């Protein structure tokens, strides 16, 4: 697992924000210090954390325009211990337009701004807008890996190849360390044959880059943002909450395997509930 993870997919409504907020909250529960960066002018991650987007004095837009340093734009969230937020709102659209008229280094703004603060966090998650624009580019240049949430629908694979080739281009041009963290199946309904078919194709193409954890369609996940809370704070026993805990657990386990750590894992390494939820099977579910 890389420290700075961009949650990206140019397709709208696939579960990016739900994933960014709830994965961040799941890591925070393991007592890791986590920073969630909202780089979407819709400000959904901001609202989902209970921060009123019209009230923010400094946010990601100010950071991108170099009108604020990152530290001054970060709010610790009292409701979720260990989680901090760099909020955003529609001002980010104006910031993007101004960035577009900047010539040199406009794609490096977030990356440079994070340098002085990034070591204070064990995990930094960036919630991207539904576009491959200058904002997403800033996120992908700052990130070490990309987590792609996707709904198993007919056109999903097509959009995925555009995103993967963008990632390859960014890797070749500006950010050689950028990796695919994994592809996450969201809003999954195992009764839907097409979803199972697309899911199998996904595994054929991307193999173990597809997370074993599957996020089911779950009403608790959909209603939590209206309370300004991650689902863990709304209904910690819901299938949605357990799925995101399981995802955090899967990422931490993969990380341990990759590093080849021999020490016995502390109970904090796997979030509570993650084992219970378990990684769901890759086999099509009928």
Q: Which residues contact ligand ATP (rule: CB under 6 A)?
A: 12-18, 40, 42, 44, 130, 186-187, 215, 217-218, 221-222, 225, 240
- What does the CA dihedral 138, 221, 73, 43 come to, rounded to 10 degrees? 70
CB of 133 to ligand ATP, least distance (A): 12
Residue 187 binds which of Mg ion, ligand ATP, none (CB < 5-8 A, kind-dependent): ligand ATP
Q: State the pairing for strand pair 123-127/34-38.
A: parallel
Tell me the Ramachandran region of residue 66: left when phi exceeds 0, alpha when psi lies from -120 to 50, beta otherwise: left
Bridge-partner residues for 37, per DSSP? 86, 126
- Three-state SS at 32: coil
Q: Which residue has the tokens 């994965």?
A: 23
| Rounded Cα–Cα distance for residues 94 and 59 (Å) | 13
Residue 12 binds which of Mg ion, ligand ATP, none (CB < 5-8 A, kind-dependent): ligand ATP
CB of 44 to Mg ion, least distance (A): 5
When the beta carbons of 38 and 280 are compared against Mg ion, the nearer one is 38
Residue 15 binds which of ligand ATP, Mg ion, none (CB < 5-8 A, kind-dependent): ligand ATP
Q: Which residue has the tokens 């998650």?
A: 125
CB of 204 to ligand ATP, least distance (A): 24
Q: Which residues bind Mg ion (CB under 5 A)?
A: 16-17, 44
When the beta carbons of 15 and 273 are compared against ligand ATP, the nearer one is 15
When the beta carbons of 84 and 186 are compared against Mg ion, the nearer one is 186
Residue 10 binds which of Mg ion, ligand ATP, none (CB < 5-8 A, kind-dependent): none
Burial group, residue 223, by CB count within 10 angstroms (0-12, 13-18, 19+): middle
CB of 235 to ligand ATP, least distance (A): 13
Residue 96 binds which of Mg ion, ligand ATP, none (CB < 5-8 A, kind-dependent): none
Q: What does the DSSP 8-state code read for residue 80?
A: S
CB of 117 to ligand ATP, least distance (A): 24
CB of 36 to Mg ion, least distance (A): 12
When the beta carbons of 15 and 249 are compared against Mg ion, the nearer one is 15
Residue 221 binds which of ligand ATP, Mg ion, none (CB < 5-8 A, kind-dependent): ligand ATP
Which residue, judged by CB position, is nearest to Mg ion in the bound state? 17
When the beta carbons of 68 and 182 are compared against ligand ATP, the nearer one is 182
Return the beta strands (E) in the chain as ranges: 4-7, 34-38, 75-76, 83-86, 123-127, 145-151, 179-188, 210-216
CB of 131 to ligand ATP, least distance (A): 9
* Residue 9: closest CA among 136, 171, 119, 111: 136
Residue 182 binds which of ligand ATP, Mg ion, none (CB < 5-8 A, kind-dependent): none
Q: Output the CA–CA distances (angstroms, integers) from residue 253 to 236, 241, 244, 248, in the order listed.
A: 21, 18, 14, 9
| Rounded Cα–Cα distance for residues 229 and 51 (Å) | 10
């Amino acid at each position: 697992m890389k420290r700075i993870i961009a949650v990206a997919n140019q397709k709208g409504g696939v579960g990016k924000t739900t994933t960014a907020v709830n994965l961040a909250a799941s890591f925070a529960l393991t007592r890791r210090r986590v920073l969630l960066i909202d780089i979407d002018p819709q400000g959904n991650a901001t609202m989902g954390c209970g921060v009123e987007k019209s009230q923010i004095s400094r946010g990601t837009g100010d950071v991108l325009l170099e009108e604020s340093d990152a530290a001054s734009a970060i709010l610790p969230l009292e409701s979720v211990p260990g989680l901090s937020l760099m909020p955003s709102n529609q001002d980010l659209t104006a910031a993007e337009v101004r960035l577009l008229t900047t010539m040199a280094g406009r794609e490096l703004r977030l990356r440079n701004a994070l340098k002085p603060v990034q070591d204070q966090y064990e995990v930094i998650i960036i919630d991207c807008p539904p576009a491959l624009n200058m904002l997403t580019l800033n996120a992908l240049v700052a990130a070490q890996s990309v987590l792609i949430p996707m709904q198993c629908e007919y056109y999903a694979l097509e959009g995925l190849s555009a995103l993967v080739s963008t990632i390859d281009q960014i890797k070749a041009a500006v950010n050689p360390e950028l990796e695919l963290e994994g592809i996450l199946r969201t809003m999954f309904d195992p009764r839907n044959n097409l979803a199972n078919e697309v899911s199998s194709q996904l595994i054929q193409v991307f193999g173990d880059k597809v997370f074993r954890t599957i996020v089911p369609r779950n009403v608790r996940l959909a209603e939590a943002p209206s309370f300004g809370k991650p689902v863990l704070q709304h209904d910690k026993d819901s299938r949605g909450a357990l799925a995101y805990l399981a995802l955090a657990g899967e990422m931490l386990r993969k990380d341990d395997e990759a590093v080849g750590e021999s020490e016995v894992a502390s109970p904090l390494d796997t979030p509570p509930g993650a084992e219970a939820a378990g990684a769901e099977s890759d086999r099509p579910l009928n």
